[in-house]
Structure 1
């Protein structure tokens, strides 16, 4: 039996795949361009290659999606859906395409789950469902979209839940937040991420126009993956139909991250953050429901520990500054 991880070549998805493989599961990564590990920089998956399969699928190509999921019919324990165009200032530049990927793509996968009788579906949602609500958002905080990305996540939760109710699929939602850490090079990310984490890779003199007056719930990717796997494995009476905040649960000022990186490296890399907020989000998320209901225990609640681990990974792949 296998677990299908959609978006498994991505940052969060690859670590979810890692943790499942480490626990002895068979994993199938469904992702656009998923043809193997060569040249992908996902060194942490390589020890488990014998239990890892790849399906190169565009989730908007319904015919190919059905053919490739049907190849696993009768052997699918669960689907974890993590394909998404991530939040950020560029989401609004191609709204139709991005909404298609985030929401229509999820519906396509859910429809295949219905046809093939897949029993469990874990939707990787986001704290963006809370919009600009101030920190301490619980799962009972009303969902109010403050941007198009957040709107796709609210829509996805509603649609997935109704698929679950109508077709007897055990649907669960993981509300993730701002993720950093091994598996992602700072140089490939948006300017705020580069300004905060970039010196770990050797970047210097990056100026973010805003974000200096903000702190967010930056969560180490290993903690994010751990929380999702806990949600997948939770008993139905605890998790079926439910949403859970999966984050660090601690708000860290962005300038503190810049200063901590400087201290960790022993040098100033010339990073600057302009005034104001980079993301219109509140932080931190309240993770009490996940801690109590799922046994979720984030390891990297101290940003310094998380940054050190991130730097160690960059060293291991020859990308450290």
Structure 2
């Protein structure tokens, strides 16, 4: 019996695949991309299906052929792409998730885990928690919320064991185009390149190392069903500012060339993402401090620089 990871070649999905393989699981990746660069050392231990999540028949066929019991859905267009191609975003992030749920219902898949996002809460400032109002302000956030609601409906209506996790802002090596802001402060210095960062240095948020995102997801997946009260959980990271991250990077790489443009003074801006239910119900806490996560990220980038080298990040773009 196999576990299928849709979007399993990507930033987070590939980390989960690696962890499942380490645990001796039979893993099937279902992905439109066949680029296994982050998994090349274990690709012989993985079954790969090149498929499109918008095609229900392809999903059904993959589940049947590989005798899939469990599904983690990481297949999605990122936030910036959703803004550019909103119709495609609805098909991939919206219809794709419903296809996973429907295929799981039809073929009696035992459990589906959906990876949602802080984006369901919109452009908030201050503190939010699991029960805060959800007002997404982007196509990406709206479609993540749609996935949550459909999953909960399938759970109530058909008894499907649906579970969801909402990630805060993540960082780590392999971050696509260093899309998440914190990765931008780490990757270029690790490669000996400058970074010019146009976000306030004193902004404080909850950040989560990608390996801890996987750990939290597995915690939710492995919990006994009677312990899963909330069904969809915020995953709380570690609070720090961009300046804190820059200071840590400079301690590890003393000649790191990091500039904030403009430098911002005054009271810090808070954007904190609390996950009380996951801590109380399942005992969640991150395994990595911010410094440990940054050190691990730098080590991975330096070990395989060819996987991460893509120019210099300046003024919110790669050049």
Q: How high is the TM-score relative to the length of structure 1? A: 0.85
In structure 2, what is the equivalent of residue 262 of structure 1?
A: 250
Q: Tell me, yes or no, if the aligned pair for 1:172 and 1:242 is still in contact at 8 Å.
A: yes
Query: Relative to structure 1, is the Cα distance of residues 6 and 135 closer, same or farther in structure 2, using a 3 angstrom cutoff?
Result: farther
In structure 1, what is the equivalent of residue 317 of structure 2?
A: none
Counterparts of 1:198 and 1:284, CA distance in 2: 24
Q: Tell me, yes or no, if the aligned pair for 1:6 and 1:80 is still in contact at 8 Å.
A: yes
Say whether residues 1:26 and 2:26 are aligned partners.
Answer: yes
Query: Relative to structure 1, is the Cα distance of residues 225 and 195 closer, same or farther in structure 2, using a 3 angstrom cutoff?
Result: closer
Selected match of 1:110 from 95, 101, 112? 101
**How far apart are 1:270 and its partner, in Å?**
4.0
Selected match of 2:228 from 239, 242, 247? 239
Unaligned runs of 5+ in 2: 310-319
**Match runs of 1:233-312 below 5 Å:** 233-239=222-228, 242-248=231-237, 250-274=238-262, 283-301=271-289, 303-312=290-299
Pairwise CA RMSD of aligned residues?
2.5
Selected match of 1:317 from 304, 308, 312? 304
Q: Tell me, yes or no, if the aligned pair for 2:170 and 2:180 is still in contact at 8 Å.
A: no
Aligned length in residues: 304
CA offsets, 1:209-265, max 9 Å, x none? 3343523222111100000011111111122661111231x2221122223212210
**Match runs of 1:67-216 below 5 Å:** 67-72=61-66, 75-88=67-80, 90-184=81-175, 188-190=177-179, 192-193=181-182, 195-202=184-191, 204-216=193-205
Query: Relative to structure 1, is the Cα distance of residues 228 and 282 closer, same or farther in structure 2, using a 3 angstrom cutoff?
Result: farther
Q: Tell me, yes or no, if the aligned pair for 1:264 and 1:308 is still in contact at 8 Å.
A: yes
Counterparts of 2:82 and 2:5, CA distance in 1: 23
SS at 1:71's partner residue? helix
Query: Relative to structure 1, is the Cα distance of residues 283 and 104 closer, same or farther in structure 2, using a 3 angstrom cutoff?
Result: same
In structure 2, what is the equivalent of residue 12 of structure 1?
A: 12
Q: How high is the TM-score relative to the length of structure 2? A: 0.86
Unaligned runs of 5+ in 1: none
SS at 1:217's partner residue? strand
